[in-house]
Amino acid sequence: MVHVTVWNEFRHEQESELVRKVYPAGIHGQLAVFLEKAGFHTKTATLDQPEHGLTEAVLSETDVLIWWGHMAHGEVADEIVERVKHHVLRGMGLVVLHSGHMSKIFMSLMGTSCDLKWREADEKERIFVVDPSHEIASGIPEAFELEKEEMYGEYFDVPAPDETIFLSWFEGGNVFRSGLTYRRGNGRIFYFQPGHESYPTYYNENVQKVIINGVNWCSKGNRAYPTYGHEEAVYPIGKGTNEQ
């Protein structure tokens, strides 16, 4: 069974009645509900827990970490970021959602500003599948719509992705590479754009299916991390295994 930890800074839900009405159990709570139904062993962690809920023990038992953050990126301790990065490089999967593009962990793994254009204007978003052969797009229609989402637009300052799976169009005319994959070390990373805190995006069945597929894909990182450092010659010239 795939073990998933859903991390959410959990600040908007505590400070905004509007957000609390949309996600009464927190964004992490809603994500955990459909992930559990999909058959994953799921736990949650939040910013204000000791070590942000991401202890060495928790991460050692996590196959895929889901990250949602927005207003408190700077409050995430650098020590915890390095701990998460250590686990990603050694094969733990990472699914970064919406405004998590500006999280310390995503920026560190990307090595760029990860900045973009944005506009909060209750716009319709149409999400197109541009790589239908990819397993993250399995079961997703050619295109689907969200009635209201925060606009994210190009240019998105991230490295060229390994795969671009989704491309979004917004009612105001912008487009955005909304579903991207990366490999860092032994770990797999999936970034997926929809999920503004004041909209019920994570109740949408297609969005849920994409995240479920993303977790499955990210869980397949190789956990057999190489040993680095000085090494004696394995097969010196003239000393092959077939020498008599």
Contact status, residue 162 vs residue 206, Cβ threshold 8 Å? no
244: in domain: no
121: in domain: no
18: in domain: yes
* CATH at residue 69: 3.40.50.880
90: in domain: yes
pLDDT of residue 117: 97
Q: What is the CA radius of gyration of the chain?
A: 19
Please give the Cα distance from 31 to 230 (Å, whole number): 44
What's the Cα-to-Cα distance from 129 to each of 19, 31, 103, 118, rounded to whole Å?
29, 22, 25, 21
118: in domain: no
Domain coverage including residue 211:
3-112+179-218
108: in domain: yes
Domains in the chain: how many in total? Answer: 1
Q: What is the pLDDT of residues 147-199, one digit of tens each?
A: 999 999 999 999 999 999 999 999 999 999 999 999 999 999 999 999 999 99
Tokens of 3: 């073990």
37: in domain: yes
pLDDT of residue 120: 86
189: in domain: yes
pLDDT of residue 172: 95
Please give the Cα distance from 65 to 218 (Å, whole number): 9
pLDDT of residue 129: 98
Please give the Cα distance from 36 to 34 (Å, whole number): 5
Sites in the chain below the pLDDT cut of 50: 244
